[in-house]
């Protein structure tokens, strides 16, 4: 892949596909990590005299403008972080976008409105998607792909535009690929992967592939209850994907055959209901009451998981251990993050929830080897899938 150093950008309009898909609460950005991760590429291009046109998506607005998914708050925050005004186009490729781009001087930065406000961005129809890509490409002279969190999508701004313009990969994409190659091609061992989050079904492919390469798989979060149930334990009202039980039993058998250790919680924090102030207590995994739901791993599990990370040389973590947004159920995720920091391993935190948890729980980002911006993209890379956005940048 070419880098931005391979492009002559001075005086040129450069369309940068960034990943600015940040969490919002009533128009307030609750975690600006993805914006900050995009800064180095945007700043480098602007400092070299490019007219920088940033484009991105936010949420899933279903192909039509929706005020709650506007990128306007992101434009404000981007401007604050860059220390300069960021012009904002109130549409994607329409009159406002064209006028905004026309008004840029060398070194200026603009942000287009949410790409997913146009249904053609995500269309499965190549021709339909192509018409949107044509309109985006017409705004620029060069293209830089730096939205790693979207490279697993065959979307117009990710896949089709780089086929229409001279292109390069931004620094964020290059860093993500470098880190993921370390995890897949020759990881330093012992190699431990920690998976959490809600659903096993979101991670079927990655578990299947990881069993071929890891030494140990540690499983927490909501997905752990399907594993516990597959071992014959009762999980009360905890999150359970009953339709995945046979698949999970297959994973357990495959792991045993390959000599991969699967580590599951030994105790959980279970509550009467899914509420921040719900009555809760710690229970061993074979004594979860029928009327309680597990919302975090328990203290003994936290100690166990930490012991399984000690001595590891490479650790990849994707998915929180519990409902970390609620303080009563944040202990497991906090303990796991601390164990990663203390492990001495090359640590990679992948996925938006895990990255947000690290920041929300007060850990310094530089305490980890790498905090990835690409949740689904990272997982698909680890599955061994081909990612359309990377293929387009390699072309």
Could you say which of 199, 338, 359, 385 is catalytic?
A: 199
Whether 376 is catalytic is: yes
Q: Which helix (H) or strand (E) holds 258?
A: helix 245-258
- Which residues make up each annotated binding site? 19-21, 34, 57-60, 116, 153, 203, 294, 325, 351-354
Contact in structure between 156 and 121 (CB atoms under 8 Å): yes
Cis peptide before 190 (omega within 30 of 0): yes
3-state class (DSSP) for residue 317 = strand
- Which residues make up each annotated binding site for (2R)-3-phosphoglycerate? 34, 116, 153
Whether 352 is catalytic is: yes
3-state class (DSSP) for residue 390 = helix
Angle at 315 between CA 293 and CA 30, to 5 degrees: 60
- Which residues make up each annotated binding site for ATP? 203, 294, 325, 351-354
- Which residues make up each annotated binding site for substrate? 19-21, 34, 57-60, 116, 153
- What does 22-39 look like in DSSP terms, one character per residue? --EETTEES--HHHHHHH
Could you say which of 107, 250, 369, 376 is catalytic?
A: 376
Q: Which helix (H) or strand (E) holds 78?
A: helix 72-82
Q: How far is it, in rounded angstroms, from Cα 169 to Cα 6?
A: 10
For 4, how many CA atoms within 13 A lie in the half-sphere containing its CB? Answer: 28
Residue 200 structure tokens? 């096993």
Residue 1 structure tokens? 């892949």
Other C-beta atoms closer than 10 Å to the C-beta of 70 total 20
Q: At what angle do helices 33-47 and 352-360 cross, to 10 degrees?
A: 100
Per 3-state DSSP, what percentage of the chain is helix, strand, and coil (rounded to 5)? 45, 15, 40
Could you say which of 220, 352, 374, 389 is catalytic?
A: 352
Neighbouring-strand partners of residue 24: 29
Whether 34 is catalytic is: yes
Contact in structure between 149 and 141 (CB atoms under 8 Å): no
Neighbouring-strand partners of residue 317: 194, 349
Q: How far is it, in rounded angstroms, from Cα 63 to Cα 279?
A: 41
Could you say which of 13, 34, 48, 308 is catalytic?
A: 34
**Catalytic (active-site) positions:** 34, 199, 352, 376
């Amino acid at each position: 892949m070419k880098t931005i150093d391979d492009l002559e950008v001075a005086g040129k309009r450069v369309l940068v596909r960034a990943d600015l898909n940040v969490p919002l609460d009533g128009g307030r950005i609750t975690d600006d990590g993805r914006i900050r991760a995009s800064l180095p590429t945007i700043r480098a291009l602007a400092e070299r005299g490019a007219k920088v046109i940033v484009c991105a998506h936010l949420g899933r607005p279903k192909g039509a403008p929706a005020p709650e998914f506007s990128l306007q708050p992101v434009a404000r925050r981007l401007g604050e972080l860059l220390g300069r005004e960021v012009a904002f186009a109130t549409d994607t490729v329409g009159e406002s976008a064209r006028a905004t781009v026309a008004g840029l001087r060398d070194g200026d930065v603009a942000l287009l409105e949410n790409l997913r406000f146009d249904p053609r961005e995500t269309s499965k129809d190549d021709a339909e998607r192509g018409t949107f890509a044509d309109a985006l490409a017409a705004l620029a002279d060069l293209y830089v792909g730096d939205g790693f969190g979207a490279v697993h999508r065959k979307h117009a701004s990710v896949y089709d535009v780089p086929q229409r313009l001279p292109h390069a990969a931004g620094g964020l994409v290059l860093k993500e690929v470098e880190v993921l190659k370390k995890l897949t091609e020759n990881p330093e061992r012992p190699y431990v992967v920690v998976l959490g989050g809600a659903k096993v079904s979101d991670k079927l492919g990655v578990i299947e592939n990881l069993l071929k390469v890891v030494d140990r798989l540690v499983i927490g979060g909501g997905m752990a209850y399907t594993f516990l149930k597959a071992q014959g334990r009762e999980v009360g009202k905890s999150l359970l994907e009953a339709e995945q039980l046979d698949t999970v039993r297959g994973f357990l058998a495959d792991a045993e055959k390959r000599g991969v250790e699967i580590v599951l919680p030994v105790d959980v924090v279970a509550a009467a209901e899914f509420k921040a102030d719900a009555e809760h207590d710690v229970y061993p995994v074979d004594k979860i009451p029928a009327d309680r739901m597990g919302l975090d791993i328990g203290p003994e599990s936290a100690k166990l998981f930490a012991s399984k990370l000690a001595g590891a040389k490479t650790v990849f973590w994707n998915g929180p251990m519990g409902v970390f947004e609620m303080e009563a159920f944040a202990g497991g995720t906090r303990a796991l993050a601390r164990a990663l920091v203390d492990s001495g391993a090359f640590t990679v935190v992948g996925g938006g929830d895990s990255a947000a948890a690290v920041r929300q729980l007060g850990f310094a980002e530089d305490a980890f080897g790498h905090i990835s911006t690409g949740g689904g993209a990272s997982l698909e890379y680890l599955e061994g899938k081909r990612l359309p956005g990377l293929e387009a940048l390699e072309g």
